[in-house]
């Protein structure tokens, strides 16, 4: 029987001020034969990250894993079973096309002309001859999506990632990128034109559900596919490095 970490625990942890995780080597009374020593804790060790909320983060990582396994993935698998592959691709293209508005706004805010042109061009090509975005013809013409979000925009203007943060349901993030996500979400409801299109698309709440299912469908990874007890650390490392690259580009 799949177990879900009770949301109450999660919220309780949120409120508890001290979220730091206890390092495992401080636990137990019998000293191990080959203990962690100062030689392991060198400054700037590659696996280290600024993670003052680690206890909370590990708790949310667990919640996300269990939610994914018990609810999200089974729904997505059902969707994949029912839908023909070409229809799945159409749905993905459709939502990815809407994301071009976010890409365009953030490219503009970063003063990246080429990326802005790509986003706008893709949106018009795919929305018109691509039949409301169901086909990604722009990629066929060699214009691949260039993802830009507000977290990257902040990074572009010198804002560091801040503390690492695992968001419920959304997964690995940082203080900066989580704020960015909030801004991006607000933006589509505030920018004239974009708010209209979004209002039309999301007039039925079921569309939110389909969007969520499609997003999960597009990610081929599963929690603990690595099998490693150190997956939290490895994911944190890869996430932060990847975002560093996203901002640099």
Partner 1 sequence: MQRAVALGLVLGLSLSDALATEPAEPLDALAYTVVQTPPAEQVPLPTLSRDRNVRSGLVRPFPDRVVPDVFWFDNDGVRYGLVYQNRPAPLVVLIAGTGGSFNSESNRQIARALYAAGMHVLGLPSPTHPNFIINGSESGVVGRPPDDARDLRRVVELALRQITDGTSVTAVHLAGFSLGALQAGWLAELDARERRIGFDRVLMINPPVSLSRSAAILDDMFDRNVDEDPRAVAALVDRIFRAFAAVYSPEEDISLDGEFLYRAYETIQPSDATLETLIGIAFRFSSTNLTFTSDVMSHAGYIVSPDANLTYATSLTDFFKHTIRKSFDDYIEGIYLPHFQARIPGFDRARAIEEASLLPIEGFLRNQARVGLITNRDDIILAPGDLAWLERVFGERATILPSGGHGGNLLRGDFVAAVAKFFRG
Please, are residues 21 and 54 in contact by the beta-carbon 8 Å criterion?
yes
Binding test (CB under 8 A) with partner 1, winner from 15, 17, 46, 86: 46
DSSP 20: P
| By the rule CB under 8 A, 58 interacts with partner 1 | yes
CA-nearest of 226, 87, 228, 240 to 161 is: 240
Q: How far apart are CA 78 and CA 91, in angstroms?
A: 15
Cβ-based neighbours of 171, under 8 Å, separated by 6 or more: 64
| By the rule CB under 8 A, 223 interacts with partner 1 | yes
| By the rule CB under 8 A, 22 interacts with partner 1 | yes
| By the rule CB under 8 A, 246 interacts with partner 1 | yes
Closer by beta carbon to partner 1, 76 or else 101: 76
Residues 77-96 that bind partner 1 (CB under 8 A): 77, 80-81
Helix (H, G, I), strand (E, B) or coil at 96: helix
User: One symbol per residue from 94 to 113: x for binding partner 1 (CB under 8 A), - otherwise; what is it?
Assistant: --------------------
CA torsion sign for 183, 175, 243, 216 is negative
Binding test (CB under 8 A) with partner 1, winner from 8, 15, 17, 29: 29
Smallest distance, Å, CB 76 to partner 1?
11
Helix (H, G, I), strand (E, B) or coil at 218: helix
Which of these segments, 138-146, 165-173, 177-185, 199-207, binds partner 1 (CB under 8 A)?
138-146
Which of these segments, 55-63, 104-112, 174-182, 205-213, binds partner 1 (CB under 8 A)?
55-63
| By the rule CB under 8 A, 24 interacts with partner 1 | yes
Angle between helices 194-201 and 85-109 (to 10 degrees): 160
| By the rule CB under 8 A, 206 interacts with partner 1 | no
């Amino acid at each position: 029987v799949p177990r879900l970490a009770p949301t109450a625990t999660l919220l309780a942890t949120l409120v508890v001020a001290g979220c730091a995780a206890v390092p495992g080597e401080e636990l137990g009374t019998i000293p191990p034969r080959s203990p962690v020593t100062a030689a392991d804790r060198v400054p700037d060790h590659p696996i280290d990250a600024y993670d003052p909320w680690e206890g909370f983060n590990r708790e949310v990582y667990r919640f996300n894993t269990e939610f994914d396994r018990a609810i999200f993935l089974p729904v997505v698998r059902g969707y994949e079973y029912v839908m023909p592959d070409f229809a799945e691709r159409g749905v993905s293209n459709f939502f990815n096309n809407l994301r071009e508005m976010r890409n365009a706004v953030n490219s503009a805010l970063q003063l990246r002309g080429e990326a802005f042109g790509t986003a706008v061009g893709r949106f018009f090509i795919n929305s018109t001859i691509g039949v409301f975005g169901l086909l990604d013809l722009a990629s066929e013409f060699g214009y691949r999506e260039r993802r830009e979000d507000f977290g990257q925009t902040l990074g572009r203007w010198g804002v560091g990632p801040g503390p690492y943060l695992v968001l419920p349901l959304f997964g690995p993030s940082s203080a900066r990128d989580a704020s960015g996500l909030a801004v991006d979400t607000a933006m589509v409801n505030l920018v004239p034109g974009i708010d209209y299109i979004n209002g039309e698309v999301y007039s039925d709440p079921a569309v939110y559900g389909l969007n969520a299912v499609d997003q999960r469908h597009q990610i081929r990874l599963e929690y603990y596919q690595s099998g490693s007890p150190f997956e939290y650390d490895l994911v944190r490392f890869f996430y932060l490095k990847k975002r560093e690259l996203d901002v640099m580009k």
